[in-house]
């Protein structure tokens, strides 16, 4: 059945549906299913998380391969590898009856302390978009559909459900929307998931500008748009903006609301028809794919090991690596016998990883001491034992990770610091005359005050179930490291311009730094990072043989040819990066990358095709304009290691309404400058009167608010939740995520009571039918 057949079949089915049936389709059946249509032999579509393996959302046990997290996998800079990993995840998902994977996430790493950064690819939109497309294309081979998320500017975890991302149009389009544009140009995901936050005052789930104008009209996306879980604020406004499915599940109030909106004329039934057609098309497509896939999948340990090995980044090496046979290895670190291999949320059910055992399996004499506790604390006895163990080895490998709860959904990190006990342990080990190699198992940058004093540093990231084997392979020379950093590692958190504004206001998240994110800022402002974007060492060496420019294969394109030779004694892989920047400044942007494997002495020539879009900027008139100027085309091994340069003159448009900002002032943008950039200064929403968008923290001054806060906090502790993110969730979100235990009626009654309207509160509690059938969505506001 082709695409045209699916559309015509969907149109026929929708033409036969009643208003009630169409309204029913617009919400998920539950946390892990989209509404079935048994009368038309269409079962429910099963959805699951899939960022680094199959994670079912219904709470059922589901063992699957745990691959490297996206933050680690991106360091491979390998589209084929990402596609292969996605294919393996897709095969396992298909075997488990999953038809739609909620992956990949294309959020930009605006600030390295973002709690969920381990789920994201990069700080760079090209890398995120290209690898996102590769992931979707890998899934396509298995018949499992993919879903791009989180659209858009959901770059903070603290107070994420009430955050208002205040971002200018240029930054929005050039940085945060660009990964989605690229991924949609190069792949065909079945769905896109909106973020939970607001952008410039509008909730992403109900923004006509973002969903209909940008996503559908400009990017050409015709598939299903679904909300993140609990993200819908106004269901009718969301439908008008062409958001199709509200997740997780429906309430009677939501369905009745849609029906009454159509009957009252507030919502055109034609809008509902278009929504229903897209949902039915998805159901038909998933049924067809499931029927044709015929897949039975075992787990994929070999693929996980390859992915972990190719994604690791060698950050420092004074020659102590690789470790030679016969070397006695001392391993120090609380997590060495149980590596941190994935984030603290969205965890795949898999076996523990013992790095010490992996080294022993390779024939090495290994001694071990914890040196510190799991939470990063230590004491004199533990340090003394660790030093004794280290003295007995020829090289000491210190395994470092972040404590549980530092890398998780719903909570941002407070700093880039490692625990004090870990830093004290490393300092004490370095007092002795020993070689110390650091193995980092972290999902995002950390400060490394000992960087100059240790012999080597290997970043494994959150490398999945094969992390131990891959680390042992690289440390002992079985695998040549080839990963490159997909994000800048700052020396200190205050070097990051976004941090000057990050989580500073109650609800407004001000993107005052503009386009100066990651290496764009560090390179243009002349701020030295700890490790630059695109950086990574190898056990072999590469020479760049220059860059030449010529006409591309298509009209109006430019072809850059870069020669590379392996000048070392070992076979290895190099990630060749192509940057474009004006000759008059240090500003540059990544416009291409390719990973190439070369034998010793082998030479290859790589071709990169540049279009006029690669020399364009987004202006206030809503159009991309070619920026006329003299440009450098740079072949590089990292954003700071330029190996070959060519020069080209580009003719373009006269820019109107374009605001250029100074990267050196990105961390200190004044109110007047931000107003000029944004058009107006954002205003904070008042605390009172309380509404359905008030959080438990905001309600706490009232008696009923204190009661609700205490009950929710106690429940979170019983459930073992990390932190207490529910405190900053609006009541409407708690209602949506409660599975029906907290109804809209009860929420409204509590809001009225918190506002001092006692009698109205009691009336709301007992007028159930009137409330659930009302089209007036402001009833939650009391």
Q: HEC string of 16-70?
A: HCCHHHHHHHCEEEECCEECCEHHHCECCEEEEECCCCCEECCCCCCECCCCCCH
Question: Of residues 228, 344, 614, 728, which has the active-site annotation?
Answer: 228
Neighbouring-strand partners of residue 647: 632
Which residue matches tokens 């006329």?
628
- How far apart are the C-alpha atoms of 329 and 392, rounded to whole Å? 8
- How far apart are the C-alpha atoms of 23 and 41, rounded to whole Å? 19
Structure tokens at 468: 């131990």
Closest CA to 125 of 176, 63, 72, 173: 176
DSSP-assigned letters across all residues of 402-418: PPTTSSBTTB--S-SPP
- How far apart are the C-alpha atoms of 49 and 237, rounded to whole Å? 27
217 is catalytic: no
Q: In what order do the strands lie in the sheet with 328-332?
A: 313-317, 456-459, 436-441, 395-401, 328-332, 365-369
Closest CA to 139 of 183, 179, 174: 183
- How far apart are the C-alpha atoms of 722 and 115, rounded to whole Å? 11
DSSP-assigned letters across all residues of 589-648: EEEEEEEEEE-TT-EEEEEEEE-GGGGEEE-TTS-EEE--EEEEEEEEEETTEEEEEEEE
Residues 6+ apart with CB under 8 A from 409: 115, 116, 119, 157, 343, 345, 346, 725
Is the bond leading into 104 cis (omega within 30 degrees of zero)? yes
| C-beta separation of 56 from 48 below 8 A | yes
Which residue matches tokens 């190069």?
186
> Which bin fits 325, alpha (ψ -120 to 50), beta or left (φ > 0)?
beta
DSSP-assigned letters across all residues of 240-279: HTT--BBSS---HHHHHHHHHHHHHTSS-HHHHHHHHHHH
Cite the active site residues.
228
């Amino acid at each position: 059945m082709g695409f045209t057949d699916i559309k015509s079949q969907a149109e026929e089915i929708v033409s036969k549906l009643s208003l009630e049936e169409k309204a029913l389709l617009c919400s998920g059946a539950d946390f892990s299913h989209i509404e079935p249509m048994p009368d038309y032999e269409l079962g429910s579509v099963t959805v699951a998380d899939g960022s680094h393996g199959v994670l079912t959302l219904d709470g059922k046990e589901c063992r699957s391969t745990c691959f490297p997290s996206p933050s680690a996998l991106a360091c491979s800079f390998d589209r084929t590898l990402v596609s292969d990993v996605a294919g393996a995840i897709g095969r396992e998902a298909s075997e488990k009856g999953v038809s739609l994977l909620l992956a990949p996430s294309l959020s930009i790493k605006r600030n390295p302390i973002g709690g969920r950064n381990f789920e994201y690819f990069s700080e760079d939109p090209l890398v995120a978009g290209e690898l996102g497309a590769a992931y979707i294309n890998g899934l396509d081979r298995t018949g499992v559909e993919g879903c791009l998320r989180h659209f858009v500017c959901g770059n903070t975890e603290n107070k994420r459900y009430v955050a208002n991302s205040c971002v200018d149009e240029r930054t929005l389009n050039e940085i945060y929307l660009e990964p989605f544009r690229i991924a949609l140009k190069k792949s065909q995901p079945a769905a896109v998931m909106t973020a939970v936050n607001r952008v410039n005052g509008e909730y992403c789930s109900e923004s006509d500008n973002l969903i209909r104008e940008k996503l559908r009209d400009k990017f050409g996306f015709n598939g299903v748009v679904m909300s993140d879980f609990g993200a819908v604020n106004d269901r009718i406004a969301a439908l008008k903006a062409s958001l199709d499915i509200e997740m997780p599940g429906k309430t009677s109030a939501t369905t009745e609301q849609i029906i009454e909106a159509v009957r009252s004329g507030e919502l055109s039934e034609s809008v509902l028809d278009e929504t229903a057609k897209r949902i039915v098309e998805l159901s038909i497509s998933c049924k067809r794919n499931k029927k044709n896939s015929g897949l039975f999948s075992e787990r994929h340990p070999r693929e996980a090991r390859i992915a972990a090995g190719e994604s690791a980044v060698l950050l420092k090496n004074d020659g102590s690596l690789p470790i030679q046979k016969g070397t006695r290895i001392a391993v120090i670190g609380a997590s060495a016998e149980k590596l941190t291999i994935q984030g603290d949320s969205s965890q795949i059910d898999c076996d523990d990883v013992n790095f010490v055992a992996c080294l022993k399996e390779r024939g090495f004499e290994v001694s071990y001491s914890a040196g510190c506790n799991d939470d990063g604390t230590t004491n004199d006895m533990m340090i003394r034992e660790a030093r004794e163990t280290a003295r007995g080895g020829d090289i000491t490998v210190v395994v470092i990770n972040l404590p549980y709860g530092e890398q998780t959904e719903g909570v941002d990190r407070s700093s880039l610091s490692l625990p004090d006990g870990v830093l004290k342990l490393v300092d004490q080990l370095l007092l002795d005359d020993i070689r110390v190699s650091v193995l980092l198992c972290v999902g995002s940058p950390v400060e490394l005050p000992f960087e100059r004093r240790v012999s080597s540093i290997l970043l494994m990231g959150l490398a999945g179930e094969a992390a131990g084997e891959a680390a042992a392979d690289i440390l002992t020379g079985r695998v040549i490291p080839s990963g490159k950093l997909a994000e800048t590692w700052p020396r200190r958190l205050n070097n990051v311009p976004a941090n000057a504004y990050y989580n500073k206001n109650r609800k407004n998240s001000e993107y005052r730094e503009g386009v100066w994110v990651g290496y764009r800022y560090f390179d243009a402002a002349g701020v030295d990072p700890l490790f630059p974007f695109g950086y990574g060492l190898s056990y072999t060496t590469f020479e760049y043989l220059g860059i030449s420019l010529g006409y591309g294969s298509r009209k109006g394109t430019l072809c850059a040819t870069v020669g590379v030779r392996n000048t070392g004694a070992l076979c290895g892989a190099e990630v060749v990066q192509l940057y474009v920047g004006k000759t008059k400044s240090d500003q540059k942007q990544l416009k291409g990358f390719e990973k190439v494997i070369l034998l010793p002495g082998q030479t290859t020539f790589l071709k990169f095709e540049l279009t006029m879009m690669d020399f364009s900027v987004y202006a206030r008139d809503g159009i991309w304009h070619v920026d006329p100027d003299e440009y450098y085309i740079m072949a590089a091994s990292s954003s700071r290691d330029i190996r070959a340069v060519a020069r080209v003159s580009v003719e373009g448009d006269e820019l109107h309404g374009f605001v250029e900002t100074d990267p050196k002032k990105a961390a200190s943008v004044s109110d007047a400058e931000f107003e000029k950039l944004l058009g107006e200064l954002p205003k904070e929403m008042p605390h009172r009167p309380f509404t359905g968008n008030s959080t438990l923290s905001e309600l706490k001054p009232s008696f009923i608010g204190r009661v609700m806060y205490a009950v929710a906090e106690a429940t979170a502790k019983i459930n073992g939740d990390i932190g207490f993110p529910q405190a900053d969730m609006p009541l409407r979100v708690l209602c949506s995520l409660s599975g029906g235990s907290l109804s809209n009626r009860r929420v409204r009654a509590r809001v009225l009571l918190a506002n001092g309207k006692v009698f109205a509160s009691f009336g709301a509690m007992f007028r159930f039918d009137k409330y659930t059938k009302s089209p007036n969505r402001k009833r939650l506001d009391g």
